Structure 1
Amino acid sequence: MSSDQPNMTHQIPAPIGGIPLPLDFAPSILFSILYAAVFIVIAWRVYRPDSRCFLLVGSVIGALERVVFFALRAYAAQHEGLRANRELQVYFQTTLAAGFITHAQLVLDLLRSLLAHPRARPSSTPAIATSSDIELNPRSAPGTEPDYPQLRYYVRQACGLPGLVMLGAVVLGIDGSHAALVRGIWYASAGIALGMLVWIGAVVGWAVCRVPRVPRWPIVWLASMGTLAAIVAIYRLGVLHCSTPLGGLESTASCSGNTPGEKAEFWIFHVAPEFLIAALLAAVNARQMFGTGLWGDIKGKDPKPVK
């Protein structure tokens, strides 16, 4: 079959969010402007010495990419010839698949920095060692509350998984002859990310119950960001069963991603949560709130004390 003839026999996974249609124009412009504001704020925080943290560089690039993404989506929504453009759809679907995974990894990196930050402090009263204190830090110095170096080691092990999750990032193309592979990649990507976010939730719950003196507000902030990323993962898993003909991307049938209701679900459960994550990150000084320092926590374990 020639490339200029519509292929209505091969079924492919329906594009997440459908193709850009006129009703996508207004929300695309809105989110392009909102992400431009987020980009300016996060870039300003990276520039300022008191808030500079290189963990945020990816967020700066991601926010700028989303400005371009939504600008292109708005442009395509107004130009019929671009709506089903294959190269543009490959870009749209790839960046949508990878964006929320990047957010999930950042949440894990910030959680690691927060929980692995040393918290020993002088004690005005003689410390009464509990069984958990002895277990976690049997050599705490007299006159100080425990610093829990062993616990920080466990935290680093529990949070050292982002690289594995990024193996599930989606690098896909829209090709009817490989539809099963594309769908499998999408399912694996969303499933791995959701599993990671459940793990983050378990670590957060454990930290609240077991880690002494962890500030509660940063924990709430990270839990909120993780929950928003999980909403995106669940939404993606819920729509991946939908298929559409390779030559019928403009179909407005049910499960095409192009009906008004499906468009609304995309903007509410995919786009809005991702933006709220970026906005939550821009709203605070991550370096101060999460104790990241300049690079975040990159040590495998605490250095041995000098004797």
Structure 2
Amino acid sequence: MSSEATTGAVASERPHRPHDGWRKWAEIAFFVTPALALMALFVAWPIITAARFSLYDWKGLGPLDDFVGFENYAEVLADDVFRDAVAHNMIIVVGSIIVQLPLGVAIALLLNRKMAGQGVLRTLIFVPYVLAEVIAGVIWFQLLQPEYGLVDALMNGIGLSPPEQGWLGTPEVALWVVLAVLTWKYLGLAVLLFLAGLQGVSEELYEAAQLDGASWWQTQWRISIPLLGPTIRTWCFLSMIGSIQCFDMIWVLTGGGPADATTTMATYLIDEGTNRHNYGIAGAASVVLFAIAFVMALVYQLVVLRRDTKEAAV
């Protein structure tokens, strides 16, 4: 019998020690505790604090002694500005998916082909996502300025008339302009994820399709896009959550204006809390925002991502 076989036999006959289980749980606790502590400090505690503030009429000074119960929630839900903000968030959610999904898939399919300058094109598409939201917002704020902005100059140069009050100052078009800027900013993430998903498609499938006489478009439609399903569903989830929490870009571009035309739930609670010092109202709005995001995420997980979760478990 070889030494390897002898060692294996001895190891298999070694009795299970009672403290092995405790050691395993101690190792798990050692690695998990820091993450749980950070979540408790930066996620759980702010939520609890916001929920506590939402039950008081508090202006930011003095103790919390003016208890009003759920009056702040009733005021928030009855506020037309907040209800419009919820509608704007839903428009951004749906609009981002409808616009970015086909564009992202099309660009990813094209960039997945071997071509000259492929790396440069991928970098150029991903650069906007790398930029900080504030920097990107300031850039577009300058580009969209009335009269002397680059966008107006280009439109005047081709004989078209931009909005008289500016792209960001006209209530009828401001939200759609913001949606276009958000598409420019976050399209690179969609392309990057879809390209990563395409790397997992076996070349043998493409070769088999070519042998059967399938064209490039037929190959993409019948093989690439269906196999991108899990990646697309994951990206849609990330896009949905990001759109619900959208704040930075809108705050820099419009501040929620003009006439609350681009107000979102995030800009609403910041305006109520920071600008108007209605921290009770802001707390109630933040709890409502959390509840909406949580319910949408939970429903999406149970309905859309359920199959992917089961396949991963298997």
Normalising by structure 1, report the TM-score.
0.31
Query: Which structure shows the bigger proportion of residues in helix conformation?
Result: 2
TM-score (norm 2): 0.30
Q: Which has the higher contact order (CA 8 A, sep 6+)?
A: 1
Structure with the greater alpha carbon radius of gyration:
2
